[in-house]
Chains A and B, each alone.
Chain A
Amino acid sequence: MQLVLEKRAERSQTIALISPLIAIGLTIVTMSLLFVILGKNPLAALDAYSIAPLTDSYSLQEIAVKATPLVMIAIGLSLCYLANAWNIGAEGQFLIGAVAGSWIAVKTQGTEAGHWVLPAMLLAGAAAGALYALIPALCRVKFGASEILTSLMLVYVADLLLDYLVRGPWRDPAGFNFPTTAEFDPVATVPVLIEGGRLHLGAIIALLVVAGAFIVLGRTIKGFEIRVVGAAPRAARFGGFNADQLILLTFAVSGALAGLAGIIEVAGPVGHLQPGISPGYGFTAIIVAFLGRLNPVGILIAGLFLALTFIGGEQAQITMKIPLDVTKVFQGILLFYVLACDSLILYRFRLISASRQVHRGAG
Chain B
Amino acid sequence: MIKPCQRMSDVPPVVSPVRGTPLLQTVGLTKRYGDFVANDSIDLEIWPGQIHALLGENGAGKSTLVKTIYGLIQPSAGELRWQGQAIALSGPAQARDLGIGMVFQHFSLFDNLTVAENVALGLDGKESFKAISARLAQVARDYGLPLDPKREVWQLSVGERQRIEIVRALMQNPKFLILDEPTAVLTPQEADQLFVVLERLKAEGRAILYISHKLEEVKRLCDTATILRGGRKIATCNPKLETAASLARMMVGTEVKEVKPRGERRITVPRLVVNDLNLPPDDPHGVSLQHISLELKGGEILGIAGVAGNGQDELFAALSGERPVKEPGNIIIDGIACGHLSITHRRKLGAAFVPEERLGHGTAPRMRLSENALLTGHAAGDMVRHGFVNAAATLQTVDRATQAFDVRKAKRDPEAASLSGGNLQKFVVGREILRNPAVLVVNQPTWGVDAGAAAIIRQALLDLADQGAALLVTSQDLDELMEIADRIAVMFHGQLSAALPRSEATRERLGLLMGGSSIDGKDPAHAAGA
A positions within 8 Å CB-CB of B: 9-11, 219-222, 224, 227-228, 231-232, 234-240, 355-359, 361-363
A235 touches B364 (CB 8 A): yes
A221 touches B388 (CB 8 A): yes
Report the stretch among B183-191, B223-231, B329-337, B414-422 that lies at the interface: B414-422
Give 20 pairs: A residue, B residue, CB < 8 Å, sorted on A: A10-B415, A219-B389, A220-B387, A221-B387, A228-B371, A228-B375, A231-B364, A232-B363, A232-B364, A232-B367, A235-B363, A236-B375, A238-B362, A238-B376, A240-B321, A240-B344, A361-B72, A363-B72, A363-B106, A363-B180
Known: A11-B415, A231-B364. A238 touches B355 (CB 8 A): yes
Is B159 in the interface zone, CB < 8 Å from A?
no
Most buried by B among A221, A224, A235, A358: A235
Known: A238-B375, A359-B91. A224 touches B389 (CB 8 A): yes
CB-CB < 8 A to A358: which residues of B?
Answer: 73-74
Give the shortest distance, in Å, between A49 (CB) and chain B (any CB): 36
Q: Which of A10, A355, A356, A362 is in CB contact (< 8 Å) with B418?
A: A10
CB-CB < 8 A to A222: which residues of B?
Answer: 387
Task: Name the residue of chain A whose CB is nearest to the CB of B415.
Answer: A10
A221 touches B384 (CB 8 A): yes
Q: Which of B180, B343, B367, B388 is in CB contact (< 8 Å) with A240?
A: B343
CB-CB < 8 A to B384: which residues of A?
Answer: 221
Known: A359-B72, A363-B106. A237 touches B322 (CB 8 A): yes
B residues 340-366 in Cβ contact with A at 8 Å: 342-344, 347, 353, 355, 357, 360-366
Task: Name the residue of chain B whose CB is nearest to the CB of A346.
Answer: B366
Main secondary structure of the interface of B (DSSP, over half): loop
B320 touches A238 (CB 8 A): yes
Give the shortest distance, in Å, between A234 (CB) and chain B (any CB): 5
Cα–Cα, bound, A239→B394 (Å): 14
Is B108 in the interface zone, CB < 8 Å from A?
yes
A232 touches B360 (CB 8 A): yes
Known: A235-B361, A238-B343, A358-B74. A363 touches B388 (CB 8 A): no
Most buried by B among A9, A234, A236, A238: A238
Give the shortest distance, in Å, between B1 (CB) and chain A (any CB): 30
Cα–Cα, bound, A237→B364 (Å): 11
Is B168 in the interface zone, CB < 8 Å from A?
no
Known: A224-B371, A228-B371, A359-B73. A238 touches B418 (CB 8 A): no
Known: A234-B361, A238-B375. A356 touches B389 (CB 8 A): no
B371 touches A11 (CB 8 A): no
Known: A359-B73, A362-B108. A228 touches B389 (CB 8 A): no
Q: How many residues of B contact A (CB 8 A)?
A: 49
Task: Name the residue of chain A whose CB is nearest to the CB of B345.
Answer: A240
B 380-393 to A, binary, CB cutoff 8 A, 1 in contact else 0: 00001001110000
B 70-106 to A, binary, CB cutoff 8 A, 1 in contact else 0: 1111111000000000000001100000000000111
B positions within 8 Å CB-CB of A: 63, 67, 70-76, 91-92, 104-106, 108, 180, 320-322, 342-344, 347, 353, 355, 357, 360-367, 371-372, 374-376, 378-379, 384, 387-389, 414-415, 417-418
Beyond A11-B366, A363-B180, 4 extra complex contacts between A and B, CB < 8 Å: A238-B375, A239-B378, A358-B73, A361-B91
Cα–Cα, bound, A220→B106 (Å): 40
CB-CB < 8 A to B70: which residues of A?
Answer: 361
CB-CB < 8 A to B389: which residues of A?
Answer: 219-221, 224
Give the shortest distance, in Å, between B202 (CB) and chain A (any CB): 24
Give the shortest distance, in Å, between A11 (CB) and chain B (any CB): 6
Task: Name the residue of chain B whose CB is nearest to the CB of A215.
Answer: B388
B375 touches A235 (CB 8 A): yes
CB-CB < 8 A to B67: which residues of A?
Answer: 361, 363
CB-CB < 8 A to B363: which residues of A?
Answer: 232, 235
Most buried by B among A220, A239, A359: A239
A363 touches B63 (CB 8 A): yes
Cα–Cα, bound, A356→B68 (Å): 12
Which 10 pairs across A and B sit closest by C-beta, in order of nearness? Answer: A361-B72, A240-B344, A232-B364, A239-B375, A235-B364, A240-B343, A221-B384, A234-B361, A10-B418, A363-B104
Give the shortest distance, in Å, between A244 (CB) and chain B (any CB): 13
CB-CB < 8 A to B92: which residues of A?
Answer: 361
CB-CB < 8 A to B379: which residues of A?
Answer: 240
CB-CB < 8 A to B361: which residues of A?
Answer: 234-235, 238
Q: Which of B104, B180, B322, B378 is in CB contact (< 8 Å) with A221?
A: B378
Cα–Cα, bound, A78→B106 (Å): 37
CB-CB < 8 A to A235: which residues of B?
Answer: 360-364, 372, 375
CB-CB < 8 A to A224: which residues of B?
Answer: 371, 374, 378, 389
Cα–Cα, bound, A231→B74 (Å): 33
Cα–Cα, bound, A220→B387 (Å): 6
Give the shortest distance, in Å, between A52 (CB) and chain B (any CB): 42
Cα–Cα, bound, A238→B352 (Å): 11
Known: A220-B387, A238-B355. A363 touches B418 (CB 8 A): no
Cα–Cα, bound, A358→B355 (Å): 33
Give the shortest distance, in Å, between A95 (CB) and chain B (any CB): 33
Give the shortest distance, in Å, between B437 (CB) and chain A (any CB): 15
Cα–Cα, bound, A219→B362 (Å): 22
Cα–Cα, bound, A239→B374 (Å): 9
Task: Name the residue of chain B whose CB is nearest to the CB of A8.
Answer: B418
A363 touches B320 (CB 8 A): no
CB-CB < 8 A to B75: which residues of A?
Answer: 356
Cα–Cα, bound, A9→B418 (Å): 6
Cα–Cα, bound, A127→B91 (Å): 59
CB-CB < 8 A to B366: which residues of A?
Answer: 11, 231-232
CB-CB < 8 A to A240: which residues of B?
Answer: 321, 342-344, 347, 376, 378-379
Q: Which of A11, A238, A362, A363 is in CB contact (< 8 Å) with B353?
A: A238
Give the shortest distance, in Å, between A84 (CB) and chain B (any CB): 12
A362 touches B362 (CB 8 A): no
Give the shortest distance, in Å, between B48 (CB) and chain A (any CB): 26
A236 touches B364 (CB 8 A): yes
